[in-house]
Chains A and B, each alone.
Chain A
């Protein structure tokens, strides 16, 4: 009886996912080019949110530096696109800045495959490096978060300061083609949109797999009691490094897709504010649930776009109000709303007071006793 009911539910969920995927794939039939372009950008953000949720929602590591990983991926793609648009000549901003020939580190980006590989590898390696020096030394919690912020400042300062090599505050823009296909043509845009949907679904499945596996159980165990995990005989640092690296690689992929849709990357996209915004998407969507994180990214960016159009003078106040309301009334984010429907929840209590399950716990309360 119990078993069949669960199987039935499983089917329902699988069906819903399929409907969602089909809806996303068929969006170009309904949307104008502009709306499709916006949606594609939001989906790229949803990919970052998935990666962030892996480390924050499931492992309890708060990174306020995912803008860099996103940005490094974006710059890798931008460098390739810029070189292709320059057609063998020096990119325009290098000329203005007095460079006479292409810097060595730009060379690999002439090749699309290499650029994509580097767009994933560079963020991943940077994350691995940061993880190696922090997690192994048991630097965690607030200290780790501060380090990620420092990394953001270093990276943006470097990008702004080295104008000749990076385009400075302007960033890199002015692309024309991707592998010979015009980026301006609606067909290319539609294909890129479908690629983005496919990548989003692929990464969603990867994240589902990771979080559902034994590996994912260890991650949640680290979140809820890192010392206990260590006493059992696991090495949390290895798990943290791996998941942080995966998360950064996902952000890099999202960055590459972002550039293809938006047509510009500048240091402002990987600064402190965007990095914090990314965390807010996850918080508002509901951390610890993959669908919540992805939904949060789409919802928040859609709201930003709509509010700023409707109230160009006061939209920031609306966004602020949304954050406050979400934090006060939806401690588990939008996804948490639906948890209240669960029949074994004490629905009259706010989420923090219910304390059962431990599924959505922050894990920052090191050593606290899980009650679930």
Chain B
């Protein structure tokens, strides 16, 4: 039997027209081929009294639960700035895109925001994987990304501003503090991906240099929920400290099972670097009370800006919402960018980068300053203890904002890591 040739023909015609119409949608004819990378950044997203900025976080998938709060903070900052007259007299218009917890999608959407929407800058990312995926796109198209989460360091892209902590603003000082105050035997527990692996590589070198002792090291896949074996191993190793770089749901399982095994915060110190106010709500105060965390900001941090920040955040999104370190860093990123644009008098990437050097701002976490060399920001390190109300009590802080050192150049023992 002849296969219906007519329909094949019709189908082909539709196929071609769909492909062309589909991919050509929203496509201005003039922007073809000649669209050199320099142009996209030079035009800088400012037209008709508006400045477009991209917001690129995961709104679906496993990371959505963390990243949507950062979107809220960034949107709030944009609204506040607009209410106060905008930037350069222009209104900031956010363009939202969903990274969908999928790293290639982050790269695709970053490309779209820069080359199609011609945004002046992008606020986005949470996981290191998403940042690593976006980095080549921002460097290729000369865009500007503000990344709001603490991470493993060893990176300083000329097209990224890092408003979260690098290792010497969170991990390194917290290990020093633990060794001085809580004991020498350290057990490393983390999820199996780049941040915990790199963090622990650094911690192991630091332990050697500062007289600590490695009691054990374990990694579990992301989303792992059975910690009974590992807790037995921890019991056998009997460390003074468990340094916890687990991420997401695993924390719920680990802390619940730790409590079930009869180990409390009095028996053994745990310090987490990915457990903030929001995670406490998820894990439950009853199992977390007394455990430690290291961040640069807590909802309880006592600064004038923070009182106002917490108040507006709760007023806008609900009294039951909490603020946390990455939320504050996202909020700070928007203000720092706006200040840099005002200072530069333009949204041009090179001008903004130049203006951002050594720029200061009174963030909710305290005074922050952009380090011109690394494009990270000076941050105060804070170690906090979980209280019965789900908030942190600050046990120690670094006093002044610590200069970012993503490659740990200031630490002799880190020589093997810098490569």
A315 close to B (CB within 8 Å):
yes
Could you tell me if B35 and A16 are in contact, using CB atoms closer than 8 angstroms?
A: no
Could you tell me if A168 and B103 are in contact, using CB atoms closer than 8 angstroms?
A: no
Complex partner residue of A263 from B60, B100, B137, CB under 8 angstroms: B137
Determine the chain A residues whose CB is within 8 A of the CB of B37 once the complex forms: 184
Could you tell me if A268 and B192 are in contact, using CB atoms closer than 8 angstroms?
A: no
Task: Give Cα A266–Cα B101 distance, bound, in whole angstroms.
Answer: 12
Determine the chain A residues whose CB is within 8 A of the CB of B3 once the complex forms: 359
Residues A114-144 near B (CB distance < 8 A): none
Task: Give Cα A16–Cα B11 distance, bound, in whole angstroms.
Answer: 10
Could you tell me if B9 and A16 are in contact, using CB atoms closer than 8 angstroms?
A: yes
Interface segment out of the listed A57-65, A223-231, A244-252, A306-314:
A306-314
Q: How far is the CB of A37 from chain B (nearest CB, A)?
A: 7
Task: Report A263-274 CB contacts with B as 1/0, cut-off 8 Å.
Answer: 111101100000
Q: How far is the CB of A89 from chain B (nearest CB, A)?
A: 8
Determine the chain A residues whose CB is within 8 A of the CB of B59 once the complex forms: 312-313
Could you tell me if A173 and B133 are in contact, using CB atoms closer than 8 angstroms?
A: yes
Determine the chain B residues whose CB is within 8 A of the CB of A173 once the complex forms: 103, 107, 132-133, 135-136
Report the interface size class on chain A: 35 or more
Complex partner residue of A32 from B109, B116, B197, B198, CB under 8 angstroms: B116
Task: Give Cα A108–Cα B34 distance, bound, in whole angstroms.
Answer: 37
Contact (A295, B18) CB under 8 Å given A97-B197, A163-B192: yes
Residues B98-154 near A (CB distance < 8 A): 98, 100-105, 107-109, 111-112, 115-116, 127-129, 132-133, 135-137, 140, 152, 154
Closest to B202 in A: A96
Contact (A306, B104) CB under 8 Å given A163-B194, A186-B35: no
Closest to A298 in B: B19
Could you tell me if A339 and B4 are in contact, using CB atoms closer than 8 angstroms?
A: yes
A39 close to B (CB within 8 Å):
yes
Determine the chain A residues whose CB is within 8 A of the CB of B140 once the complex forms: 183-184
**Secondary structure dominating the interface of A:** helix
Could you tell me if B27 and A169 are in contact, using CB atoms closer than 8 angstroms?
A: no
Interface size on B, residues (CB 8 A): 71
Determine the chain A residues whose CB is within 8 A of the CB of B12 once the complex forms: 13, 16-17, 19-20, 291
Determine the chain B residues whose CB is within 8 A of the CB of A163 once the complex forms: 192-194, 197
B201 close to A (CB within 8 Å):
yes
Could you tell me if B16 and A23 are in contact, using CB atoms closer than 8 angstroms?
A: yes
Could you tell me if A160 and B221 are in contact, using CB atoms closer than 8 angstroms?
A: yes
Could you tell me if A306 and B112 are in contact, using CB atoms closer than 8 angstroms?
A: no
Q: How far is the CB of A309 from chain B (nearest CB, A)?
A: 6
Residue of B10, B109, B127, B197 ringed by the most chain A CB atoms within 10 A: B197
A24 close to B (CB within 8 Å):
yes
A217 close to B (CB within 8 Å):
no
Could you tell me if B103 and A171 are in contact, using CB atoms closer than 8 angstroms?
A: yes
Could you tell me if B192 and A32 are in contact, using CB atoms closer than 8 angstroms?
A: no
A350 close to B (CB within 8 Å):
no
Determine the chain A residues whose CB is within 8 A of the CB of B9 once the complex forms: 9, 12-13, 16
A292 close to B (CB within 8 Å):
yes
Task: Report A87-98 CB contacts with B as 1/0, cut-off 8 Å.
Answer: 000101101111
Could you tell me if A161 and B198 are in contact, using CB atoms closer than 8 angstroms?
A: no
Q: How far is the CB of B291 from chain A (nearest CB, A)?
A: 26
A365 close to B (CB within 8 Å):
no
Determine the chain A residues whose CB is within 8 A of the CB of B18 once the complex forms: 295, 298-299
Task: Report A303-329 CB contacts with B as 1/0, cut-off 8 Å.
Answer: 001101100110110000000000000
Q: How far is the CB of B70 from chain A (nearest CB, A)?
A: 14
Q: How far is the CB of B157 from chain A (nearest CB, A)?
A: 10
Besides the contacts A20-B16, A96-B201, A268-B101, what 8 more A-B pairs have beta carbons closer than 8 Å?
A6-B5, A96-B417, A170-B132, A170-B133, A268-B104, A295-B11, A298-B18, A302-B22
